[in-house]
Structure 1
Amino acid sequence: MKKLFLVLGLLGSWITFAQQEPQYTQYMYNTVSVNPGYAGTRGVASILGLYRQQWAGLEGAPETAQFSIHSPISYRGHGLGLSIINDEIGPSRDTYVNASFSYKLQLGYDTWLNLGIMAGGSFLEVNYDKLNIHDPGDPELSGRLSKFSPNIGAGAYLHASNWYVGLSVPALLETHFYDDIQQSVAKEKMHFYLIGGYVFDLSPTLKFKPAALVKAVSGAPLGVDVSANFLFNEKFTLGAAYRWDAAVSALAGFSITEGLHVGYTYDWDTTGLGNYNSGTHEVFLRFEFVSSSRNRMISPRFF
Structure 2
Amino acid sequence: MHFISLISYLIVETGPDLQIRIKYTTVLIILLISVSLKGQDPHFSQFYANALYLAPSFAGAIEENRISINYRNQWPAVSGVFNTYSFSYDRYMPNFRSGIGILATYDVAGSGDLSTTNIGLLYSYDIQLNREWHIRPGINFKFTYLGLNYGKLIWNSMITARGTTPSVYPPPFEGVADVDFAFSALAYNDRIWGGVNFDHLFKPRQSFYGDWDTHVPVKVNVFGGIQISRRGRLLNRYSEVISVAANIKYQDRFWQSDLGLYYYRDPVIFGLWYRGIPFVTSQAGDAIIGLIGIKTQNLHIGYSYDFTISNLIASTGGSHEISLVYEFITSTLGSRRRMFHAVPCPEF
Shorter-chain TM band: 0.7 to 0.9
1:10, CA displacement in angstroms?
A: 9.6
1:231 aligns with 2:264: yes
Equivalent residue, structure 1, for 2:126: 104
Which sits farther off after the overlay, 73-82 or 107-116? 73-82
1:118 aligns with 2:152: no
Equivalent residue, structure 2, for 1:58: 78
Which sits farther off after the overlay, 107-116 or 68-77? 68-77
Give runs of aligned pairs for residues 1-303 of structure 1, distance below 5 A. 13=34, 16-19=37-40, 21-90=41-110, 91=112, 92-133=114-155, 142=171, 145-178=174-207, 180=209, 186-204=214-232, 205-219=239-253, 221-233=254-266, 235-244=267-276, 245=284, 246-255=286-295, 257-290=296-329, 294=333, 301-303=344-346
> Could you tell me which amino acid in structure 1 is paired with residue 293 of structure 2?
G
The DSSP-based 3-state class of the residue aligned with 2:174 is strand
The DSSP-based 3-state class of the residue aligned with 1:37 is helix
Structure 1 contact 41–77 (Cα < 8 Å) conserved:
no
- Tell me the distance in 2 between the aligned counterparts of 1:254 and 1:66: 20
1:226, CA displacement in angstroms?
A: 1.5
- Tell me the distance in 2 between the aligned counterparts of 1:260 and 1:51: 17
1:116, CA displacement in angstroms?
A: 1.1
- Tell me the distance in 2 between the aligned counterparts of 1:29 and 1:210: 16
Sort the Cα spacing of 1:14 and 1:151 in 2 relative to 1 into closer, same or farther, 3 A.
Answer: closer
- Tell me the distance in 1 between the aligned counterparts of 2:96 and 2:147: 41
- Tell me the distance in 2 between the aligned counterparts of 1:253 and 1:199: 18
Residues 19-71 of structure 1 show CA distances to partners (whole Å, capped at 9, x for unaligned) of 1x110101123221131111111232111000000011322232001001111
- Tell me the distance in 1 between the aligned counterparts of 2:303 and 2:33: 23
> Could you tell me which amino acid in structure 1 is paired with residue 265 of structure 2?
F
> Could you tell me which amino acid in structure 2 is paired with residue 159 of structure 1?
Y
The DSSP-based 3-state class of the residue aligned with 2:42 is coil
Which sits farther off after the overlay, 76-85 or 280-289? 76-85
- Tell me the distance in 2 between the aligned counterparts of 1:242 and 1:226: 5
Which sits farther off after the overlay, 127-136 or 163-172? 127-136
User: How many residues are aligned here?
Assistant: 289
Q: Mind listing any 5+ residue stretches in structure 1 that lack a counterpart? A: 1-8
> Could you tell me which amino acid in structure 2 is paired with residue 17 of structure 1?
K
Equivalent residue, structure 2, for 1:5: none
Structure 2 contact 63–329 (Cα < 8 Å) conserved:
no
CA RMSD of aligned residues (A): 2.9
Sort the Cα spacing of 1:267 and 1:67 in 2 relative to 1 into closer, same or farther, 3 A.
Answer: same
1:276, CA displacement in angstroms?
A: 2.0
> Could you tell me which amino acid in structure 1 is paired with residue 302 of structure 2?
G
- Tell me the distance in 2 between the aligned counterparts of 1:283 and 1:274: 21
1:13, CA displacement in angstroms?
A: 4.7
Sort the Cα spacing of 1:66 and 1:179 in 2 relative to 1 into closer, same or farther, 3 A.
Answer: closer
- Tell me the distance in 1 between the aligned counterparts of 2:252 and 2:115: 23
1:180, CA displacement in angstroms?
A: 2.3
The DSSP-based 3-state class of the residue aligned with 2:57 is helix
- Tell me the distance in 1 between the aligned counterparts of 2:186 and 2:132: 14
Which sits farther off after the overlay, 106-115 or 35-44? 35-44
The DSSP-based 3-state class of the residue aligned with 2:313 is helix
- Tell me the distance in 2 between the aligned counterparts of 1:18 and 1:32: 20
1:275, CA displacement in angstroms?
A: 1.3
> Could you tell me which amino acid in structure 1 is paired with residue 73 of structure 2?
Q
Sort the Cα spacing of 1:139 and 1:210 in 2 relative to 1 into closer, same or farther, 3 A.
Answer: farther
1:185, CA displacement in angstroms?
A: 7.0
The DSSP-based 3-state class of the residue aligned with 2:175 is strand
1:128, CA displacement in angstroms?
A: 2.8
Larger Rg computed on CA atoms: 2
The DSSP-based 3-state class of the residue aligned with 2:116 is strand
Structure 1 contact 202–208 (Cα < 8 Å) conserved:
yes
